[in-house]
Structure 1
């Protein structure tokens, strides 16, 4: 049952829709049922860089990480992939969206590129997010984060947050329409595949670029094989040839090559 605090927060949220205080009002509503340390809202499209709708982590985040994220590192974020192609609208735990080897990647703990990681790498104990469908195949993620040292979102909190999904979805779609609608993408804005081609295409073949993208997103060789419909041995051969052509010897070096490209 909705209590008086939630009713007041819902009213404030809809008053703020379309304005600069929308994210703050949404955070205030969520805090009536569950505490969190940081938040953010990104609008995602397959053909454009993300739009930062709400920045609820400025006090602890390196601005360089946000620049790298917006230039292309967002494509390694499971919430990006889920927002535009994979997951149903709803509330999701990061661990339920992430590829099988995601937490072995540098992206999951790197404050160089992940704007939701605070000054000490690996300080998040959990990230959950509302995934909201937007018009024209676009999507948004409203992420809630707790820092290490705190507790995971428990099942009671998660259930209470799920009950707020219709309100979060309706308000976010209205806010998007009034304040952040993406028009036709700029011809200079690279697509997802183009980012990886620009970063590696002078050295790697298109097939190798496709494998590289999945490696960086946190897929194991088995998962890459399943995604591409090829044998696991073929994936391992691609990985060997990718490392040889780039003159590197590890996934960490591959990640750094991508980050160095984004930083240029």
Structure 2
């Protein structure tokens, strides 16, 4: 390990219980590969997310961040990954996202996706360290490049992936020292924002389909997830759109954003 690396780790250790933690980790990781923005969200299936570290640029919309925290996170592949059994480690969004995620409205929305509201526009790529914490909480330390950059190369990804055990240990220690995670007794089961937005109008089967459509699943992927035929998935989708008085996935996403803005 060379002198700059030793100094970088020393700064991280010094910042473990204070706001300098995130910037120190960013500086260290940039010695391996460059990136434009970062953030650390902490997720739990029965609680709204917590923002452990805001490494977004100053041009990111606070309204978009607010909408994300209100419920937009439910459409985030990293939230889904953290609330399922995907193992810890570095992941590309393309590895964990549904088949049509990158053509979904959420993936390109500057109203609910904070990093898309950056003045540089849409991301070229996002990768993230998934880290298991205590009491069912998991964190994602995301590294993002905007459209002015290139995707993380395989070499860069592998080098960053080698640091996953270190990043995981540091994130867990920072979480412990800052007590960001509420005591288990304070984690109350919350009504799903999606249920509040749509469930009163839709049948349970239609709601399950709409839930997956919003996250970026195709009809075929919906069918595979729900163990139904693709024709049945299409039928539920059609009937759900009729009940909601809409005709497209964009209309569905617009309804969801309108709900977030009103609540």
Please give the range of the TM-score, normalised by the shorter of the 2 chains: over 0.9
Q: CA deviation at 1:212?
A: 0.9
Using the alignment, how far apart are the partners of 2:187 and 2:126 within structure 1? 31
Equivalent position of 1:202 in the other structure = 200
Equivalent position of 1:99 in the other structure = 98
Note if 1:53 corresponds to 2:78. no
Unaligned 5+ segments in structure 1 are: none
- On the 8 A contact 2:120/2:147 being kept in 1, the answer is no
Alignment of 1:202-241 (within 5 A): 202-241=200-239
Alignment of 1:92-131 (within 5 A): 92-120=91-119, 122-131=121-130
- On the 8 A contact 2:72/2:113 being kept in 1, the answer is yes
- On the 8 A contact 1:109/1:121 being kept in 2, the answer is no
Alignment of 1:63-212 (within 5 A): 63-120=62-119, 122-179=121-178, 180-183=180-183, 184-185=185-186, 187=188, 190-191=190-191, 194-212=192-210
- On the 8 A contact 1:76/1:217 being kept in 2, the answer is yes
SS at match of 2:135: helix
Post-superposition CA distance 1:16-58 (Å, at most 9, x none): 1121211111111111111111000000000111100111114
Using the alignment, how far apart are the partners of 1:70 and 1:185 within structure 2? 18
- In the TM superposition, structure 1's runs of 4+ consecutive aligned residues that sit over 3 Å from their partners are 118-122, 184-187
Q: CA deviation at 1:120?
A: 5.0
| TM-score using structure 2 length | 0.94
Using the alignment, how far apart are the partners of 1:182 and 1:234 within structure 2? 42
- On the 8 A contact 1:111/1:121 being kept in 2, the answer is no
Q: CA deviation at 1:186?
A: 5.5
Unaligned 5+ segments in structure 2 are: none
Q: Cα–Cα, structure 1 residues 178 and 121, in superposed 2: closer, same or farther, change >3 Å?
A: same
Q: CA RMSD in A?
A: 1.5
- On the 8 A contact 1:221/1:232 being kept in 2, the answer is yes
| TM-score using structure 1 length | 0.94
Post-superposition CA distance 1:128-164 (Å, at most 9, x none): 1111111222210011111112111112211221121
Q: CA deviation at 1:11?
A: 1.4
